[in-house]
Amino acid sequence: MQKVIISQDIEKSLTEAIAACEHDKLFVLTDETTLRLCWPVIAHMPCVEGAQMITIGATDDNKTLESLTHVWEALQQGGGTRHSLMINLGGGMVTDLGGFAASTFKRGIHFINIPTTLLSMVDASVGGKTGINFGGLKNEVGVFNCSDSVILDATFLRTLDHPNILSGYAEMLKHGLISNEEHWNELLSFDLDNIDYARLTQMVATSVAVKERVVTEDPLEHGIRKALNLGHTAGHAIESLAMAQQRTVLHGYAVAWGLICELFLSVVKVGFPQQRLRQAVQFIRHHYGQFAFDCKQYDRLYQLMTHDKKNTSGIINFTLLGEVGDIRINQSATREEINDMLDFYLQG
């Protein structure tokens, strides 16, 4: 079972996490940005002395088979064995790709995630999903495999620019929507323009607890774990379209836009309150703006949705809400309803 550590002392937490994993060699995976901004936070610590560094390019554009091969080769050339340990220090791209590399090298080595972005703290690093983008599609190849531990430390939040705070916050909005009204209202009232990092850390712990409860109940996504896909069927399609057009967007922005789409579908299909939809749309439009496309892209977006991993027998499946916390998984929509959803996103 994955151990999630809300850390007040990163050196103590990391020392204990490493000691809990017997190993012959220690590797640390970063991307170019976290090597510069985040590695210095832990580089001086005795627990990582002698660690071999592996670095890949930053941003989701590098969540590729080529980067994965580079990590495998570095592990191999560094003398890695099935008893080695890898620390993934970075955002969701690093923990996803690093987790996949660790899960497959020598049929699996131990790994620890230290998420350094808000997005990876509340989403990517917890729950055991690993993988890479492939064939122009998000997270197309990967495995379920939890890290031995995840260390969440607010120190790293202060290294983030505002767009990356917002990107992670979108996943927190999702957790609030699938949780309860109190959690949702707290998220809407938080001042994202003047961040109280102590309060944000407490909210991260609440958000992670929502995901942990769901993942514990359904680790391999056969049922209720699909709740965590709220906003993602439409959001991943928008994200993949942006990638194809070389207008790459942060994952959380695409999720926020996907929430607008899927909350609209929730109103139409399962009676989600229109007032709640307006509330969410106002908040998301204010903070995340809008990704520009037109009706000529509807066919492409629809095709991208057909590749979603939740689909069965070619039917696009959505996770919808009857109310905050009232989760309705495995909801389908007609092509006309999906077009109406995209119309609402652009004009609503």
Residues involved in catalysis: 107, 129, 171, 211, 221, 225, 229, 232, 236, 251
Q: What is the CA radius of gyration of the chain?
A: 20
Show the tokens assigned to 275: 């007032």
Q: Which run of H or E residues covers position 316?
A: none
Distance CA 243, CA 198 (A): 34
Task: Give, as one character, the DSSP assignment of residue 44.
Answer: T
Burial label, 248 (beta-carbon count in 10 A; 0-12, 13-18, 19+): middle
Q: Are 119 and 82 in contact (CB under 8 A)?
A: no
Closest residue by Cα to residue 102 from 124, 77, 122, 76: 76
Residues forming beta bridges with residue 53, ordered by sequence position: 28
Q: Which residues contact 202 (CB under 8 A, 6 or more apart)?
A: none
Residues contacting residue 64 through CB under 8 Å, at least 6 positions apart: 132, 133, 134
